[in-house]
Amino acid sequence: MPETPAKARIGILISGRGSNMAALIEAAGQPDCPYEVSLVVSNVPDAPGLAFAAAHGIPQFTLAHKGMKRAEFDALVDHALREARVEYVALAGYMRLLSPGFVEQWRGRIVNIHPALLPAYKGLDTHQRVLDAGETRHGATVHIVTEALDDGEILAQAEVPVLEGDDAESLARRVLIEEHKLYPAALADLVRR
Ligand code: GRF
């Protein structure tokens, strides 16, 4: 029997709903998926996404960041990831800037999903800003994380049309459907490189 190749060990960082985290966990459940989710980290101890991770038996590390220095907090996250033998970090609605030291430790092995067609519309409120600008197309991007916000090598993008009558909510919903397909596929491609 040929040996099954070891799966890449992923750590997912969340702060909230965790629907992209759920998409990654579900994808990891497929036998041919090249990664497994080894740890979910949250800086918000009651983040709604944690219940899904728990229901799937994924180990968790949760720690409120309040009152801690960024670098100090990130060092504890880094330690938890290493204890879990994580090899790649996926940000999934993680609403905190990472310290340069953390980015350096994981360079080339941290990815993020951003709800816009980068390099356009970095930052927050992308859906409303796209609507305000009268764009006809919008989408999502998976990219390597660097010290700069929503920057770094673009790994994959999915496009959606902006439809007449769209508001930020309807547009966000349509983009999110694409995010849930895009992120697992882009992460699989990265770990197979
Ligand atoms: C997603 O739109 C993602 O692109 C952005 O934050 C949102 C997180 O949603 N980075 P969820 O927590 O994955 O449901």
Tell me if 174 CB under 6 Å of ligand 1: no
The answer on pLDDT for 120 being more than 80 is: yes
Task: Grade residue 5 by pLDDT with cuts at 50, 70 and 90.
Answer: confident
Q: Is the separation of the CB atoms in 190 and 167 below 8 Å?
A: no
Cα(19) to centroid(ligand 1), Å: 7
Q: Is position 114 annotated as part of the catalytic site?
A: yes
CB 12 within 8 A of CB 86: no
Nearest CA to ligand 1 atom 5: 93
pLDDT bucket at 3, cuts 50 / 70 / 90? confident
Q: What confidence category does residue 114 fall into, taking pLDDT thresholds of 50, 70 and 90?
A: very high
Query: Which pLDDT value is given to residue 4?
Result: 73
pTM for the whole structure: 0.97
Q: Whose CA is nearest to atom 12 of ligand 1?
A: 18
Structure token pair of residue 37: 């989710």
Residue 117 CA to ligand 1 centre (angstroms): 14
Smallest CA separation from ligand 1 atom 8, residue: 93
Q: How far is it, in rounded angstroms, from Cα 190 to Cα 145?
A: 13
Place of tokens 């029997």: 1
Q: Which of 56, 65, 79, 114 is catalytic?
A: 114
What does the alpha-carbon distance between residue 46 and residue 5 come to, in Å, rounded to a whole number?
35
